[in-house]
Amino acid sequence: MQNLELLFTGFVTVFSVQNVLVTMLGAVLGLLIGAMPGIGSLAGVALLLPLTYKFNPTTAIIMLGALYYSNMYGGSFSAILLNIPGDSPAVMTAIDGYPMATKRKRPGQALYTSNISSFTGGLIGICILTFMGPALAELGLKFGPAEMTSLLLVAMTSIGWLVGSNPTKGVVLTAVGILIASMGMDTLTGSPRFDFGSMYLLGGVPFIPFVIGTVGFAQVMKLVDEKDKKSNNIINEKLTIKGSMISLHELKRLLPPAIRSGFLGTFVGVLPGAGATTGAFLGYATQKAFKSEEPLGTGAIEGIAACESANNAAAAGSFAPLLALGIPGSGTGAVLLGGLMMWGLNPGPLLFTNQPEFCWSLIASLFLANIITLFIALGIIPFLVRILTVPIKLMIPAITMVCIVGSYSSTNSLYGVVVMLISGVFGFLFEKNGYSTAPMLLSFVLAPLLESNMRKAFIISHGSLDFFVKSPISLVLVILLILIISTPIIRGSLKIVKNKKQNKK
């Protein structure tokens, strides 16, 4: 109960006029930054950090916290409406969000689903943070290289659910994703790898331009390609406010995946080095194991709910190690941590004890930001959906510009634009030939994590494989992995035996 008491003192701090205003400012900026492709929360927080040096630390962190947090909402807007993920966690939102908006012609419902799920996931994450923050952070510490290796292997199997109808094509693109991710500096020894003598490739392929290309720019080319077949607009019908609303039945459909992903996402957010993107990927992949009313990937509400809820929950979860131990769970967390130092606070295990006012105000401001962002988002959705009624001939150059600006700003150089264009061409060719690019993006995110953790685990175990079974957490995960892999095989062979028996009769 002491936590609740502290939380209320936090609310007292947050509800000053100045702090409510900066929360709102942070929320609006976060929505905008999130909706702009290429400028993710990392860049947003980094850009605003210098502005906050003159604030008092509590006000500054409230604003940046609100910004980081609402950013997870904004990312889904451009993903759903334009098929361009506004930030990396929104990649998965685009898979179901864009078809729902365009093929099913229900952009309003798609956006509402995404925002209500974000709210649900975020609320779960913040509640867990309130009551179990420090304990959760300590649990996160138990996940060392060995445990992370096992966990990531389990996560990698979820690619199996994303490969679509043709497993061979899926596996090929998974491998391509891993190969591309291995370019650049070796994570452990720091020696160059697959850089082909180019100074640019030394830093590897940047994720944001890669995603904007394979998903967004490929979409532009698809629009060009289909221009003659289709009518002038993506959506011809008039979109009314009433027609954009979500029904009670749909609300019931989105809640179970949103709640599941809320818990999963919080947990992923707490793990060292995982972050919101991994959270969203896993949330979506997990949903594949559950029932959805419509098949995932064709515009299912469940698909949007699962990943949007997970990424907001992960954003909240990543505050646990940041506040309790001074360990950033993500790149954005690292920048916030740098901010704490600049404001003269010493982040670390003593922050909760020495600066309770600061910590609890931050948590209270997350609650506030979550509610404010939800209302702002719900209010602007009916106007946003009209983007889809813009004629395609105007959409194509506009989206192209957004892709170019987004990929430029994420790397601050033309290198990002080149990466975006090349991956766009390949993304288009892949999709046209029935290769789904989702497995490639997932393996691109997970492979570097898996590689560095596995190699660390082998150094610690001095080359022995026993690290998989030595720690209880890892052992459980390995058993889970074996079950996941063997279930289809056993099921398949049972079927064959059954069929043979029937044939004999």
Which residues would be at the binding site for other proteins (CB under 8 A)? 46, 49-50, 53, 141-146, 184-185, 187-192, 199-203, 206, 272-273, 321, 325-328, 331, 334-339, 341-342, 344, 346-350, 411-413, 415, 456, 459-460, 462
Residue 149 Cβ vs other proteins, minimum distance, rounded to whole Å: 12
Cβ neighbours of 422 (radius 10 Å): 16
Question: In this complex, which beta carbon is closest to other proteins, that of residue 334 or of residue 484?
Answer: 334
Cβ neighbours of 200 (radius 10 Å): 18
Question: In this complex, which beta carbon is closest to other proteins, that of residue 142 or of residue 495?
Answer: 142
Question: In this complex, which beta carbon is closest to other proteins, that of residue 182 or of residue 187?
Answer: 187
Residue 336 Cβ vs other proteins, minimum distance, rounded to whole Å: 8
Half-sphere exposure of residue 255: CA atoms within 13 angstroms, side-chain side? 7
Question: In this complex, which beta carbon is closest to other proteins, that of residue 25 or of residue 418?
Answer: 418
Dist CA 310 CA 266 (whole Å): 7
Backbone angles phi, psi at 435, to 5 degrees: -95, 120
Residue 261 Cβ vs other proteins, minimum distance, rounded to whole Å: 25
Question: Is there a contact between 248 and 278 (Cβ–Cβ < 8 Å)?
Answer: no
Question: In this complex, which beta carbon is closest to other proteins, that of residue 77 or of residue 343?
Answer: 343
Residue 470 Cβ vs other proteins, minimum distance, rounded to whole Å: 12
Question: Is there a contact between 67 and 45 (Cβ–Cβ < 8 Å)?
Answer: yes
- Indicate left, alpha or beta for 192 from its phi (over 0: left) and psi (-120 to 50: alpha): beta
Dist CA 339 CA 46 (whole Å): 9
Residue 451 Cβ vs other proteins, minimum distance, rounded to whole Å: 13
The candidate with the shortest Cα–Cα distance to 43, out of 54, 53, 32, is: 32
Question: In this complex, which beta carbon is closest to other proteins, that of residue 190 or of residue 379?
Answer: 190
Residue 475 Cβ vs other proteins, minimum distance, rounded to whole Å: 16
Residue 452 Cβ vs other proteins, minimum distance, rounded to whole Å: 8
Residue 418 Cβ vs other proteins, minimum distance, rounded to whole Å: 12
Question: In this complex, which beta carbon is closest to other proteins, that of residue 188 or of residue 245?
Answer: 188
Question: In this complex, which beta carbon is closest to other proteins, that of residue 165 or of residue 412?
Answer: 412
Backbone angles phi, psi at 233, to 5 degrees: -110, 160
Burial (CB count <10 Å: 0-12, 13-18, 19+), residue 336 = buried
Q: What one-character-per-residue DSSP string does 28-91 give?
A: HHHHHHHHSTT--HHHHHHHHGGGGGGS-HHHHHHHHHHHHHHHHHHHHHHHHHHS--SSGGGH
